[in-house]
């Protein structure tokens, strides 16, 4: 069965994690990005029974500081569903990751820079142990090929990213699922991410 079929059939998070971990990278990415909004909702709910996410899921240990790690994503919105979150581990900020959103509409709405960090009390927030925090911006240099840092409070991106936080839950070694809040109010929809590496 595919990931979507397993979710719809009532599989537990441990079974989904084992399935994803056993797939080849291209199959894992394809099955993850096939998930529609209904499956994403179920996946977010049952992922609360699994282990919490940590920063090392998004940028694994051993990746040098400042090196980009790409997670391919799909959200449950009606348009512009596919995107990438690009992350790096900054120098001098061990409890943070920095990143931005690469989308087909980035030239129009901006990059949506964020700082990811553990949620309150070292990840105890029930919504997710890691928060992608758009209230914060990188406080130092980012990879040279990344776009210029632009405040989320300016331009069209204020309607997408401003005053927003994404709460992340772990699904498998490479896959995570998130839900967005704006000013502590739940936004519509979810999104799923698949880290792109070779293992």
Q: According to the model, what pLDDT value does residue 76 have?
A: 84
Provide the 8-state DSSP code for 161.
T
Beta bridge partners of 131: 117, 167
Q: Is the pLDDT of residue 59 over 70?
A: yes
Provide the 8-state DSSP code for 38.
H
Longest dimension (CA), the chain: 46
Who has greater pLDDT, 60 or 187? 60
- Which residues, at least 6 apart from 12, have a Cβ–Cβ distance to it below 8 Å? 46, 49
- Model confidence, pTM: 0.94
Average pLDDT over residues 43-55: 96
Average pLDDT over residues 6-33: 97
Give the integer Cα–Cα distance in Å for 25 and 91.
Answer: 29
Q: Is the pLDDT of residue 199 over 60?
A: no
Tokens at 40, concatenated: 């994403």
Q: According to the model, what pLDDT value does residue 198 have?
A: 60
Average pLDDT over residues 157-180: 93
Give the integer Cα–Cα distance in Å for 44 and 171.
Answer: 9
Q: According to the model, what pLDDT value does residue 79 have?
A: 66
């Amino acid at each position: 069965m595919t990931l979507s079929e397993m979710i719809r059939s009532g599989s537990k998070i441990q079974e989904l994690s084992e399935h994803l971990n056993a797939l080849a990278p291209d199959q894992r990415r394809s099955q993850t990005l096939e998930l529609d909004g209904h499956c994403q909702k179920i996946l977010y709910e049952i992922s609360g029974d699994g282990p919490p996410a940590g920063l090392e899921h998004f940028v694994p240990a051993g990746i040098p500081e400042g090196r980009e790690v790409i997670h391919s994503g799909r959200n449950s919105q009606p348009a512009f569903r596919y995107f990438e979150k690009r992350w790096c581990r900054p120098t001098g900020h061990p409890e943070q990751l920095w990143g931005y959103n690469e989308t087909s509409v980035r030239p129009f709405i901006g990059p949506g820079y964020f700082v990811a960090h553990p949620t309150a009390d070292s990840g105890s927030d029930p919504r997710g142990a890691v928060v992608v925090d758009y209230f914060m911006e990188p406080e130092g240099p980012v990879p040279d090929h990344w776009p210029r840092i632009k405040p989320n409070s300016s331009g069209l991106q204020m309607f997408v990213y401003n005053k927003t936080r994404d709460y992340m839950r772990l699904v498998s070694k490479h896959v995570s699922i998130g839900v967005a809040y704006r000013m502590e109010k739940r936004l519509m929809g979810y999104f799923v991410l698949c880290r792109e590496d070779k293992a």
